[in-house]
Every structure is written in C-alpha cells, then in structure tokens.
C-alpha cells in the first residue's frame, strides 16, 4: 500500500514564533522552510509514499517544495490548520479516490524514511490512526484508510482529541524521528541530537544553541 501525505505549511513569516528564544525573526522563516524541505524530502524517499501534497499559500515555500517533487495545493479555505488538512485531503481524494491519506507535520527535520514506513504500515491496519508527538500531548501524523474521512483535530491537546474521535493511537518503538516535531528550542536540540536533514543542519549551524 502506498500513501499520499498531506503536509500543511503556514506562511513562513508567521511560522515558528515559539522559537523566538532560539532564532531571531530574520532566521525563523528560513528555519521553518528548512524543516519543511527536510520533512518532504524524507517523506518522498519513503517507499510507502506515492506522493506528497503540500497545502500552502506561501509562494516561497510552494516554489521550494515543488522543486523537491511535492504537489502544491492552495490553502483555499484559509481557515487554519485543520481546514487546510481537510481541504488537502479532499483534493487528493478527488484525484485518487482509493488512496490512503495521512496528514504529516511539516516540522520533522530528523525524519527517517524507514521509520515513516514502519508507522504507515502500522496505520494501514486501522480505519484511522495517529502517532503522538515526542511530548505525548500533540500529534505528528494522522492516517485514514481509503474511503474514510481524515477528520483532523490538530491543535491544543490533539493527542486526546484524536483518540476521542475514534482514531487508534499507534504505539511503536524506534520511530523517534517521526515523533520529534520542533516547536521550541528544546525540541530543536532533540531533533539535532537525532540527526537532522541537510537543510536544517545548514540553517541551525547559524544559531547559537546551548547544548547543541
């Protein structure tokens, strides 16, 4: 089974505000783009992934991610993260009605294709399934089988919200790279310890990160 991944990318100028203690306003857009580039590149290298649809209205992000091989879907609803994901999933399903679809965070710069393949293989056993983030509060991936609505509930306490929606929580070892999203300086240090992709490494090299 091969999946289509839907990856949301907000306007880079507004991305990663919680990294203000680690990266200044001039560096954060580039850092957010690097996260997305490394995430998309790793996803496209995963044998379980047929294609990646990036939902964004950011021209720079769209251009750079399309160059990696992603399909770009305009964020037509403009209604926030969950509306963007639902729209992206609908566009994907209109093209390939029988494809399994998974929403994947754009801030997984340490993502490993083999670990993503393990998560998708586990998700394929259920109508809907999700993977909690490293903090155990949020969600980094939500998957839906063919014919099932994605029904994203990302945001505050999304782990509990996805569980309450009936999605099965995946409990897997050795998939840290799929769980380590980056919202804070501590998250970035954890991702760097796992080993990030080349674009994130290049931008992070310009930061002074204690403990890096």
Q: Please, what are the domains in the chain?
A: 3-204 (3.90.550.10)
* pLDDT tens digits along 145-191: 999 999 999 999 999 999 999 999 999 999 999 999 999 999 999 99
pLDDT at site 114: 98
Residue 56 is labelled as binding a ligand: no
Alpha helices, DSSP H, located in 69-137: 81-95, 113-123
Four-residue CA torsion sign, 164, 140, 106, 18: positive
Residue 5 confidence (pLDDT) above 90? yes
* pLDDT tens digits along 42-85: 999 999 999 999 999 999 999 999 999 999 999 987 789 999 99
Contact 159, 87 (CB under 8 A): no
Residue 173 is labelled as binding a ligand: no
Q: Output Rg (C-alpha) for the chain, integer angstroms.
A: 16
pLDDT at site 123: 98
In whole angstroms, what is the distance from residue 209 CA to residue 212 CA?
Answer: 5
For 15-64, the three-class secondary structure string (H helix, E strand, C coil) is CCHHHCCCCCCCCHHHHHHHHHHHHHHHHHCCCCEEEEEEECCCHHHHHH
Residue 16 confidence (pLDDT) above 80? yes
pLDDT at site 209: 56
In whole angstroms, what is the distance from residue 37 CA to residue 17 CA?
Answer: 18
Average pLDDT of the chain, as a whole number: 95
> Which of residues 110 and 26 earns the better pLDDT score?
110
Residue 122 confidence (pLDDT) above 90? yes
Closest by alpha carbon to 139, among 148, 147, 149, 129?
129
Residue 155 is labelled as binding a ligand: yes
In whole angstroms, what is the distance from residue 64 CA to residue 210 CA?
Answer: 30
């Amino acid at each position: 089974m091969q999946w289509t991944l839907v990856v949301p990318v907000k306007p880079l100028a507004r991305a990663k505000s919680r990294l203000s203690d680690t990266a200044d306003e001039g560096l954060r857009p580039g850092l957010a783009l690097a996260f997305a580039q490394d995430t998309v590149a790793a996803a496209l290298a995963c044998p379980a992934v047929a294609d990646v649809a990036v939902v964004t209205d950011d021209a720079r992000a769209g251009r750079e991610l399309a160059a990696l091989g992603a399909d770009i879907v305009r964020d037509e609803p403009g209604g926030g993260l969950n509306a963007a994901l639902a729209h992206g999933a609908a566009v994907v399903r209109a093209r390939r009605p029988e494809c399994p679809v998974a929403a994947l965070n754009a801030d997984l710069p340490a993502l490993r294709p083999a670990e993503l393949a393990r998560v998708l293989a586990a998700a394929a056993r259920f109508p809907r399934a999700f993977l909690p983030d490293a903090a155990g509060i949020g969600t980094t991936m939500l998957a839906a089988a063919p014919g099932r609505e994605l029904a994203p509930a990302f945001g505050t306490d999304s782990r509990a919200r996805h569980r309450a929606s009936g999605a099965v929580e995946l409990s897997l070892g050795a998939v840290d790279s799929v769980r380590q999203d980056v919202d804070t300086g501590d998250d970035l240090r954890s991702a760097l310890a796992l080993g990030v992709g080349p674009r994130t490494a290049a931008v992070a090299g310009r930061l002074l990160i204690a403990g890096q």
